[in-house]
Homo-oligomer: A and B are copies of this chain.
Amino acid sequence: MIFTKEQILKALSTVQEPDLKKDLVTLNMIKDVQTEGNKISFTVVLTTPACPLKELIKSSCIEAIHQHVSADAKVEVHMTADVTSARTSAGPMLPGVKNIIAISSGKGGVGKSTVTANLAIALTKLGAKVGLIDADIFGPSMPTMFDLEDVRPSVIQENGKNFIIPVKQYGVELMSIGFLTPPDHAMVWRGPMASSALKQFFSDCKWGELDYLLIDLPPGTSDIHLTLVQTVSVTGAIVVTTPQKVALADAQRGLGMFRQPQINVPVLGVVENMAYFTPLELPDNKYFIFGENGGREFAESNNVPLLGQIPLVQGIRECGDNGKPAAMQNDVIAEAFRELAETLAQQVAIRNASAEATKRVEIKV
């Protein structure tokens, strides 16, 4: 029995990519179809290695072959990923970066940096190439969170110009003002100085080819935020909040900024952090210290996905203070961040398939 490539592609064209709502063949996700006797093999190129539907898509492919080609065929599916990008018109700034994701909160202290660090680790563990810019010029926490407090990045010369090499730790490429200043040193800068530091993280650093570059923004809606959207084309933003009312008001301001017509960065979703506190010895007790489901309701009322609800667990803070983000471990916390990473990657893929590329903000704001 000889199977043709056409038979196989026809069969696979019955398999839908559930998020993108088109079949795998139309989406050009099937590569490298080969047959040998009873054996059929092909590669499915996902839109992200962090795809939460990986197993579902794989089994759907096998089922489609068995149903439409031959019930006896021995099917071998290779799953791989080529992260999509809507930064095609990105211009000269960071052309090797497929997706720039701004992580914002409005209010400080809601755990935005902790979420960012763990998200970076979780995406890396799932196979993505990840970078992280600590844009909190006045309160850089990434050197502590990644155990890089005394590390200084190296510098190379190219065409007579110096470039900083981002520091690689736990597989993540990192840049922070904390690598360039003594620890605990106050950067008493007005906005233009801070903005200029951020711009240098883009223009004077040698970033590699990255699937996702996460930008950990400072609280508020001011210079750093404006400089970001004026310097690079941002794929999308996520908003981190705790469930409490005063945090939600600030989160609303943060989200409102991205939706202002002249800024217009798609909001990929909301992360509810410190959703509840669970003591280690009383895992069934959930204390809704900061209120219950505030983040979920906030996401609903703004018509954006709730990407995840992360509990307040002492271990997460301890891991951050000790320079080993909780997502590096294999436990319940790591699992929560893995799910968050998958949901985010999924939203990025949907955004890239459906929405226009974000333009760099050209007008003066």
Residues of A at under 8 Å CB distance from B?
106-111, 113, 138-139, 141, 144-145, 183-192, 194, 218-223, 225-226, 242, 244-247, 249-250, 252-254, 256-257, 260, 263, 277, 279, 285, 287-291, 312, 314, 317-318, 320-321, 365
Determine whether the beta carbon of A223 is less than 8 Å from that of B188. Answer: no
20 A/B residue pairs, CB under 8 Å, sorted by A: A106-B138, A106-B139, A109-B109, A109-B110, A109-B111, A138-B221, A138-B250, A141-B250, A144-B245, A184-B252, A184-B253, A188-B221, A188-B225, A188-B226, A189-B222, A190-B226, A191-B191, A191-B223, A219-B220, A244-B320
Residues of B within 8 A of A185 (CB): 253, 256
Per the bound structure, the CA–CA distance linking A42 and B237 in Å amounts to 66
User: A262 to B281, alpha carbons, bound, how many Å?
Assistant: 50
Query: Is B186 in contact with A221, judged by CB distance below 8 angstroms?
Result: yes
Query: Considering the chains assembled together, what is the distance between the CA atoms of A76 and B317 in angstroms?
Result: 56
Residue from the list B192, B222, B244 in contact with A317, Cβ < 8 A: B244
- The oligomer's copy count stands at 2
Q: Which of B139, B221, B288, B312 contacts A107 (CB 8 A)?
A: B139
* Beta-carbon contact of A249 and B279 below 8 Å: no
Q: In whole angstroms, how far apart are the Cα atoms of A218 and B242 in the complex?
A: 18
A328 to chain B, nearest CB (A): 17
- Contact status B290-A279, CB under 8 Å: no
Residues of B within 8 A of A219 (CB): 108-109, 138-139, 218-220
A254: nearest chain-B partner, CB-CB: B186
Cα A222 to Cα B223 in complex, Å, equals 11
New contact pairs (8) apart from A138-B250, A188-B225, CB-CB < 8 Å: A113-B246, A138-B222, A139-B249, A185-B253, A185-B256, A186-B260, A218-B219, A279-B287
A246 touches B145 (CB 8 A): yes
Grouping DSSP codes into helix (H, G, I), strand (E, B) and loop, the A interface class, with mixed when no group exceeds half, is: loop
Partner of A184, one of B249, B260, B317, B320: B249
Measured in the bound complex, the distance between the Cα atoms of B184 and A194 in whole Å is 26
Is the CB–CB distance between A290 and B277 below 8 Å?
A: no
> What residues on B are CB-neighbors of A111 within 8 Å?
109
Q: How far is the CB of A111 from chain B (nearest CB, A)?
A: 8
**Cβ–Cβ < 8 Å partners of A290 in chain B:** 317
CB-CB under 8 A for A321 and B250, given A186-B257, A188-B225, A221-B138: no
Complex alpha-carbon distance, A42 and B285, angstroms: 58
Residues of B within 8 A of A288 (CB): 314
Q: How far is the CB of A195 from chain B (nearest CB, A)?
A: 8
Q: How far is the CB of A312 from chain B (nearest CB, A)?
A: 7
Q: Which residues of B contact A138 (CB under 8 A)?
A: 106, 219-222, 250, 253
Question: Within the complex, which residue of B141, B222, B247 is in contact with A188, where a contact is CB–CB below 8 Å?
Answer: B222
Known contacts A109-B110, A139-B253, A189-B222; decide if A289 and B260 are in contact (CB<8 Å): no
Q: Are A187 and B139 in contact (CB under 8 A)?
A: no
Cross-chain contact of A187 among B192, B221, B242, B317 (Cβ < 8 A) = B221
A227 to chain B: closest CB distance in Å?
Answer: 9
In the complex, the answer to whether B289 meets A186 with C-beta atoms within 8 Å is: no
Contacts of A189 in B (CB 8 A): 221-222
Contacts A289-B314, A312-B289; is A188 near B321 (CB within 8 Å)?
Answer: no
List B contacts of A256 (CB < 8 A).
184-186
In the complex formed, the residue of B with least CB distance to A321 is B245
Contact B188 A191 (CB under 8 A): no
Task: Kindly state the separation between the CA atoms of A242 and B220 in the bound complex, as whole angstroms.
Answer: 20
| A244 partner residues in chain B, CB cutoff 8 A | 317, 320-321
